[in-house]
Amino acid sequence: MKLLYDRDVDILTVILNEMPVEESDEIKEGIVLDYDVHGNLVAMEILDASRLIAQPAGVEFQLAN
């Protein structure tokens, strides 16, 4: 999994799988889900991320047992 934040366009992208994106669906204003050719979720984009997330460039990662 990768997290990418592009300050220039203010988009936070969560990449779950490196497969090519076949289809995208904006499920809620500013939240876009990307799917591969088989309909599997491969990424999520948060548009205007700084408006929705306090620090989109800061990431905390935790593993749950």
**Within a domain: 28:** yes
Range of the domain at 18: 2-52
| Gap between the Cα atoms of 8 and 5, Å rounded | 9
Q: pLDDT value at position 53?
A: 83
Q: pLDDT value at position 15?
A: 96
pTM (2 decimals)? 0.83
Query: Residue 33 corresponds to which tokens in the numbers above?
Result: 């889900």
Q: pLDDT value at position 14?
A: 95
| Gap between the Cα atoms of 55 and 5, Å rounded | 10
**Within a domain: 8:** yes
**Within a domain: 42:** yes
| Gap between the Cα atoms of 23 and 14, Å rounded | 16
Q: Tell me: the pLDDT tens digits for 12-64? A: 999 999 999 999 999 999 999 999 999 999 999 999 999 988 887 787 777 78
> Considering its fold, how many domains does the chain have in total?
1
**Within a domain: 65:** no
Burial 50-61 (b: 16+ CB within 10 A, else e): eeeeeebeeeee
